[in-house]
A = this chain, B = another copy of it.
Amino acid sequence: MVLLIHHPISPHSRKVRLLMSEKKILFSLKEENPWNLSKDALKLNPAGELPIFVFDGKYIAGNNSICEFLEETFPDQPLLFGDALQKAEIRRITEWFDTKFYREVHRTIVTEKVFKRFITGTSPNSQVLKNGLSNLNFHMEYIDWLCESRNFLAGDNLSLADLAAAAQLSVIDYLGDVPWESYKSAKIWYSKIKSRPSFKDILKDNIKGILPSRNYNNLDF
């Protein structure tokens, strides 16, 4: 029995859900408030972060740690493959989205638009929000550039890098802030990921109190 303690606004939770779905691992979900974990969840992850992976009375925290564990223990449908250099390329791009995109885009946009509105009840700082949206363009340019010469972000095949990037983008897309029309190659890439069976549940996600953007779950966006 596999349980993922998660929240739909957490991109790292989405990444692990996508990875488990690609690997056809059956799992159930339990939602936690990402800004205020319960005491029980904090015992499992003192870092206070989501997701937390629970199985057979054991648990693993840390999104990279969970994904590497899943790759090792469920080697079918590998998402981290190839020789050492190919794996390095997959991990480089995965790390880019897990950490750089997360810090420069997710934390600014989601803090301003969601955290402030629903948790602290304060107004967004428009300059900070503008910086987050400007950072997003830099990341979109990079995805676009990669997709001009590659089928998927780290090469010819779908890898963990695509799941990491799509997980991050899907949260921003829920909020309606991804400028798809300016990045044609990135859009084609995202539509490929979006139409995968593993993405179905992500497209049904519902962040309490916020309606998804008009094209969030539209495959022809």
Residues of chain A at the chain B interface (Cβ within 8 Å): 46-47, 49, 58, 60-66, 68-69, 72-73, 84-85, 87-89, 91-92, 95-96, 98-100, 103, 142
Q: How many copies does the complex hold?
A: 2
Assembled-state Cα–Cα distance A85/B62 (Å) = 13
7 tightest CB-CB pairs across the interface, nearest first? A62-B92, A65-B91, A65-B92, A62-B95, A69-B88, A60-B88, A65-B88
Structural contact, A100 and B47, CB atoms closer than 8 A: yes
Contacts of A47 in B (CB 8 A): 96, 100
Q: Specify which chain B residues have a CB less than 8 angstroms from the CB of A46 in the assembled complex.
A: 142
A69 to B69, CA, bound (A): 16
Interface of chain A, helix or strand or loop or mixed? helix
Minimum C-beta distance from A174 to chain B (A): 23
CB < 8 Å neighbour of A68 from B62, B73, B91, B96: B91
| Distance from A99 Cβ to chain B, minimum over Cβ atoms (Å) | 5
Find out whether the CB atom of A84 lies under 8 angstroms from the CB atom of B88: no
- Find the B residue at minimum CB distance from A72: B84
- Measured CB to CB, the closest approach of chain B to A55, in angstroms, equals 10
Q: How far is the CA of A60 from the CA of B95 in the complex (A)?
A: 12
Does A49 lie within 8 Å of B100, measured CB to CB?
yes
Given contacts A99-B99, A100-B47, A103-B103, contact A91 B72 (CB under 8 A): no
Contact of A95 (CB < 8 Å), options: B65, B73, B87: B65
Q: Which residues of B contact A103 (CB under 8 A)?
A: 103
A62 engages B84 (CB within 8 Å): no
Residues of B within 8 A of A49 (CB): 100
| Smallest CB gap from A85: residue in B | B58
Distance in Å from the Cβ of A52 to the closest Cβ of chain B?
10
Residues in B neighbouring A72, C-beta threshold 8 A: 84, 87
CA distance A62 to B47 in the complex (A): 22
